Structure 1
Amino acid sequence: MYLCRMLPTSRKELDRLGYGNVDIILFTGDAYVDHPSFGAAVIGRVLQAQGYRVAVVPQPNWRDDLRDFKKLGVPRLFFGVTSGNMDSMVNHYTAARRLRSNDAYTPGGKAGMRPDYAVTVYTRILKQLYPNVPVVLGGIEASLRRLTHYDYLTDTLKPSVLIDSGADYLVYGMGERPIVDLAKKLREHAAVDEIRKIPQIAYLAAWPEEISCVPEKILYLPSHTECLNSKKQFAEHFRVFEQQANTSDPPVLAEPVDSKEGRTVVVNPPYPLMTTAQLDQVYDLPYTYKAHPRYKGKSIPALEMIRFSVCLHRGCFGGCSFCTIAAHQGKRISSRSLESVTTEIARLATLAEFRGHLSDLGGPTANMYRM
């Protein structure tokens, strides 16, 4: 029954749970660890709590006959794709552009278990196999590559990951609320125009008339082509993006690929800041704080590092130029209640591995609890 306490990862586990097909299948570049520090686990648990049947495919093999992409069948609603807790290129390469020899998010720290640009590779495979099933991107790699961006490894400007991957939707930032709303709309067979109004998602419009917003709310950024041709245009692009990301009433951002008459990447404004009660609901879900039994006790370095780490809040008001947390979680702080934190600590204390101390209490960067 231990397998049934976690989200299923194989046909055997689906059968044990009495599932046929599931509603949602999540593909992740990380090992599957049922801990609130791992994005796929959080999104999976949040969707499960809403009554959806969710499965996870961790670190699928993209170099063989693609059996990992086929083994769980076709989901009723959509595929979710994330590279994992890190951008796959940061995970793979050092600042000197040298290949790393290990991967903290893989059993045994083994390197090479995910591809470069994992979100794009996974999505292209899924679109090749199941062209009519929606693919939703999420996680840090998709979130920070949602618009034209500088790619350090290739020393070039790349377009939105929506263009390179062919995905249908992209959820940016901390995605619990948009992914629940997206699943609800897809279950109700809502019109595409209605789905595209969900806050905190991005999509690719074929022409301006497809943008699901009144023109007065749209703020156009320099196009991808303009950014390629002018460093000043790219600087202006980033300035507008940075300033609008944390305003009280942000507009819909529209980035044309070539011109305003053609394809356009559209980024809807984010949801309001999560309330304490909403954040508590996420962290009060029944995580096991363990790696999936499929790994047969192999050590996952990232889990060993954060197993007894407790997240008190989200967001960072630092705004450091070298850090992307503000672009992902925002600059305003959303804190958990003291009751939720102490409940989680009590759960951690029941684990067999607990030795009487917590590794840290804090947030994504520093401790800004209730600031």
Structure 2
Amino acid sequence: DMLMFGNGERPLVEVAHRLAMGEPISEIRDVRNTAIIVKEALPGWSGVDSTRLDTPGKIDPIPHPYGEDLPCADNKPVAPKKQEAKAVTVQPPRPKPWEKTYVLLPSFEKVKGDKVLYAHASRILHHETNPGCARALMQKHGDRYVWINPPAIPLSTEEMDSVFALPYKRVPHPAYGNARIPAYEMIRFSVNIMRGCFGGCSFCSITEHEGRIIQSRSEDSIINEIEAIRDTVPGFTGVISDLGGPTANMYMLRCKSPRAEQTCRRLSCVYPDICPHMDTNHEPTINLYRRARDLKGIKKILIASGVRYDIAVEDPRYIKELATHHVGGYLKIAPEHTEEGPLSKM
């Protein structure tokens, strides 16, 4: 009937309340972070074809800065382009273009058989991930359509704290018995301090799951969880295996301009250059690390999440703190976006 994607707290609560009030699941079609199957577009919505927003086609090769194949390398003069003067007209205020608007993607059948259309659909999907301005997406599958509602509004720090304060058991479900679960072993003594990532890597799905806006827990919430691990989790030896998230060093970082944050469609806040609106102050992260490692019964706090080094170098204090106290022999980074070996396999 309905697919919820992402972490899902907001859609789960909204759908549960609406069902409890007697609304049929078949009529709940407008919840953010959900997808449904439809026969046609929802009433009252207007559509725009995705090819009007992004022209499918192959990307032109980027000229090598030291190559000999650059334009004008033969020193021949280039005639200036003539530009005709255009009259300036004042347009009346328009409604927000993303409200009640959906983007029609190429059909599943076309995307499945065409790499260029696949890349085009993926690009459109990445552009519609800002909760402040994202439009719904619609794609034909056979004789039906999948309708994807815009992403949910990010959780505030207070809401994040309430989610992480729920009485989790921190052990596998009893149905697994004594089975060894590698994923559990990896996260057994780790603590999630934030959600989201504004790196915008096109091969990564974190943006679709958790969004580009960082959602951080408070220091007190994180410290309380470390103490709970220390006091209740069987086998704890005093070492926290990770204090991180999708990226190690984006805790409490976000756009300094609320207006830009609501309307921006830039795919990455750090590529090709760090956006001037982006706050890169690592002081909250440094303070958290220091407070955590001073806890009684804590021998070591390791950082196993990947470090985004393009923003880490903006604050040398963070690198010093990390290298001095929180690296267990190897510093984990994510270089696959620059290395030909991994890229050739992707």
TM-score, normalised to structure 2's length?
0.53
Matching residue's letter, 2:208: A
Per the TM alignment, residue 301 of structure 1 is displaced from its structure 2 partner at its CA by 2.2
Is the CA contact 2:128–2:150 (under 8 Å) kept in the aligned structure 1?
no
The aligned residue for residue 144 of structure 2 is: 263
Question: Cα deviation per residue 1:84-143 (whole Å; 9 max; x = unaligned)?
Answer: xxxxxxxxxxxxxxxxxxxxxxxxxxxxxxxxxxxxxxxxxxxxxxxxxxxxxxxxxxxx
Equivalent residue for 2:313?
none
Q: 1:16 aligns to what?
A: none
Distance 1:290 1:193, change over 3 A: closer
Cα pair 2:131 2:152 within 8 Å, conserved = no
**1:329 shift after superposition:** 1.4
Q: SS state of the match for residue 184, structure 2? A: helix
CA gap 1:350/1:247 in 2 versus in 1, 3 angstroms: closer
Match in the other structure for 1:207: 40
CA distance in structure 1 between the partners assigned to 2:5 and 2:179 by the alignment = 32
Report how many aligned residue pairs link the two structures. 199
Q: What does residue range 258-337 of structure 1 map to in structure 2 within 5 Å?
A: 258=142, 262-337=143-218
The structural deviation recorded for 1:325 is 1.5
Deviation at 1:222, TM superposition (A): 1.4
Find the structure with the greater CA-based Rg: 2
**Unaligned ranges ≥5, structure 2:** 47-99, 254-346
Instruction: Decide whether the 8 Å contact of 2:131 with 2:153 is kept in 1.
Output: no
Which residue of 218, 232, 243 corresponds with 2:102? 218
Report the equivalent of 1:45: none
Distance 1:327 1:294, change over 3 A: closer
**AA paired with 2:16?**
A
SS in 2 for 1:290: coil
Contact 2:33 2:151 in 1 (8 A): yes
1:184 aligns with 2:66: no
Q: Taking structure 1 as reference, are residues 306 and 192 closer, same or farther at Cα in structure 2, changes over 3 Å only?
A: closer
Q: Which runs of 5+ in 1 are unaligned?
A: 1-167
SS for the counterpart of 1:256 is strand
Contact 1:174 1:329 in 2 (8 A): yes
In structure 2, the CA distance between the partners of 1:188 and 1:269, relative to structure 1 (3 Å rule), is same
Indicate if the aligned counterparts of 1:197 and 1:212 stay in contact, CA closer than 8 A. no
Aligned to 2:146, the other structure's residue is in SS state strand
Identity of aligned residues (%): 40
How well do the aligned residues superpose, as a CA RMSD in angstroms?
2.0
Report the CA distance shift for 1:349/1:228 in structure 2 as closer, same or farther (over 3 A). Answer: closer
Q: CA deviation at 1:229?
A: 4.7
State the SS of the aligned residue for 2:239: coil
8 Å contact from structure 1 (residues 315, 330) kept in 2: yes
Instruction: Give CA-to-partner distance per residue, 1:319-358, whole Å, 9 cap, x none.
Output: 2233222222112210001111111111111124221121
Asked if 1:356 corresponds to 2:238, the answer is: yes
Q: TM-score, normalised by structure 1?
A: 0.50
- The SS at the match of 2:152 is coil
Instruction: Decide whether aligned partners of structure 1 residues 228 and 217 sit closer, same or farther in structure 2, where only a CA change above 3 A counts.
Output: same
Instruction: Tell whether 2:67 aligns with 1:234.
Output: no
Between the aligned partners of 1:233 and 1:223, the Cα distance in structure 2 is 9
Determine which of 206, 220, 234 is the counterpart of 1:339.
220
Structure (1/2) with the larger helix percentage: 1
Match of 1:250 in 2: 134
Determine whether 1:367 maps to 2:249.
Answer: yes
Q: Any idea what SS the aligned residue of 1:348 has?
A: helix
Q: Is the 8 A contact 2:230 2:236 kept in 1?
A: yes
Letter in 2 for 1:271: A
